[in-house]
């Protein structure tokens, strides 16, 4: 189960006890923001793409979306989202629970600079009804991200 993998992964950083679990789904930005009583932007949504180099996860602010031109400029190929049917197989996490922690081996994680506007953000924690509150610096450290990138635009 993905949330258990994330819990185990975060345990080595002493953060496993900080996972928030909800009774209902927090799989969408709107649901997560409502559950947490915060603005959409602070929800750190994780989007999964296939590239020639394999699966990647890009984490960006919940009030942003991928800018296809910026994506192509950075990755030198067209953005191709992983189909919902293949998300768990490719990333190790279910739809709605994709997060930058404990992803399948070889999955590269990138963080969008849109997250830096906030003191803390809430990425999912491996299930469609979980989250964890982290500073952008904590998110960077715990995710093992490759780099901060600028690939988003306002919705």
Domains of the chain with bracketed CATH: 2-154 (3.90.960.10)
Q: Is the pLDDT of residue 1 over 80?
A: no
Neighbours of 148 (CB within 10 A): 13
The per-residue pLDDT for range 62-76, each reduced to its tens digit, is 999 999 999 999 999
Bridge partners of 94, per DSSP, are: none
- Answer for the pair 35, 62: CB distance below 8 angstroms, yes or no: no
Burial of 119 (0-12, 13-18, 19+ CB in 10 A): exposed
Confidence (pLDDT) at 29 = 97
Q: What is the pTM of this model?
A: 0.97
**DSSP H helices in the chain:** 2-11, 29-36, 68-75, 87-91, 136-143
Name the CA radius of gyration of the chain, rounded: 14
* pLDDT for 15: 98
CA distances from 147 to 12, 36, 74, 106, 110 (A): 22, 27, 11, 15, 5
CA angle 126–68–149, rounded 5-degree value: 60
Rounded to whole angstroms, how far apart are CA atoms 3 and 16?
Answer: 10
Residues 37-93 pLDDT 10s:
999 999 999 999 999 999 999 999 999 999 999 999 999 999 999 999 999 999 999
Q: Is the pLDDT of residue 3 over 80?
A: yes
Angle at 99 between CA 102 and CA 17, to 5 degrees: 70
């Amino acid at each position: 189960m993905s949330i258990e993998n994330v819990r185990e992964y975060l345990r080595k950083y002493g953060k496993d006890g900080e996972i928030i679990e909800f009774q209902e789904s927090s799989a969408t930005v709107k649901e997560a923001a409502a559950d947490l009583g915060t603005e959409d932007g602070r929800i750190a949504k994780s989007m999964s793409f296939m590239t020639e180099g394999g699966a990647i996860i890009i984490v960006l602010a919940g009030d942003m979306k991928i800018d296809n031109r910026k994506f192509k400029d950075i990755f030198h190929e067209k953005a191709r989202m992983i189909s919902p049917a293949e998300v768990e197989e490719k990333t190790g996490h279910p739809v709605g629970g994709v997060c930058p922690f404990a992803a399948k081996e070889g999955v590269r994680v990138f963080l969008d600079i849109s997250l830096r506007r906030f003191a803390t953000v809430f990425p999912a924690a491996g299930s469609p009804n979980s989250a964890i509150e982290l500073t952008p610096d904590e998110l960077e450290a715990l995710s093992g991200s490759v780099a901060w990138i600028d690939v988003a635009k306002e919705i």
